[in-house]
Amino acid sequence: MVQVPVDEEGIVDLDILEILIDKDTVLVSIQLVNHEIGSIQPLREISRIVKEINPQTLIHTDAADAYCRIPINVEDLGVDMLTLSNHKILASKGAGALYVRNGVKVEKIIHGALSTQTLWLGVENVPSIVGFHKAAELVYRDFNKQVTYVKELRERLLNGILDEIQEVLVNGLLGEKRVVDNLNVSFLYVEGEAITIELSLNGIYVSSGSACTSRVLEPSHALLAIGRRHEEAHGSILFKLSRYHSPEDVEYTLKVLQESINRLRRISSIKPRRAKNVH
């Protein structure tokens, strides 16, 4: 397995990708949206590059953090396989979805008794599947309106942080190339773990780095990949917004966040060191 590097905004380096693809490349798998920094990959361009070099190479994308946030069309993206997870759209955990293009053969890795499914043996988690369907239905019932609303909340939160708190780094792309519900910010000279505790005591729940590694006291590999130093990555906070949040929630978060950062910086042992692109 070979990993393709990304630039300082988390976008795959297309020039290096083109060099790495050859006649022996079996699969290229790239997240459509990174779950930590929200950057949207140019997947259509990636697919074009890969298929021009080797039409037999399969292209898979993890679209879990893109689904119900941006329009997705597998034909436009040029992918052969696509995966989704229901908990990413506010449904209960326990179900997912796999798109496989006609003609692509996927071999099952779990063997056992016969089942109605060819890839996954056993009984389906019907409640989670039904919940997955309902959650998607609620989003796509008024998709553009909901996306616009969440984006406005995100921008209000972002602008409030930049206006009220000094020495911060915004991780990832801004504007249309970032999914609307994602905001990742590094607060310099403070540990992210301390921030999450401070906020949780006030009813605000965020994560420091990836939720997948929240119990490991290591800096986010995604932030290190875009060039953040260890101390900058350690101070990162991931905010996720949804249609169930309100402008009042954002204002309350900004108030508590500013007070928490100021207090933590006063007692922090981390010494100031000027970083690039600090706001």
Instruction: Report the b/e string of 22-59 with b at 16+ CB within 10 A.
Output: eeeeeebebbbbbbbbbbbbebeebbebbbebeeebbb
Residues 132, 136, 138, 143, Cα dihedral to 10°:
170
Among residues 257, 43, 38, which one has the least CA distance to residue 160?
Answer: 257
For the question of residue 68 being annotated catalytic, the response is no
The H-or-E segment that residue 146 falls in is helix 143-164
Active-site pick, 212, 216, 217, 278: 212
The CA–CA distances, whole Å, from 159 to 153, 271, 279 equal: 10, 26, 11
Residue type, 63: A
For CA atoms 112, 113, 115, 118, give the dihedral sign.
positive
Q: Concatenate the DSSP letters of all residues of 17-79 into one string.
A: HHHH--TT--EEEEESB-TTT-BBP-HHHHHHHHHHH-TT-EEEEE-TTTTTTS---HHHHT-
For CA atoms 161, 163, 164, 168, give the dihedral sign.
positive
**Residue positions annotated with a catalytic role:** 212
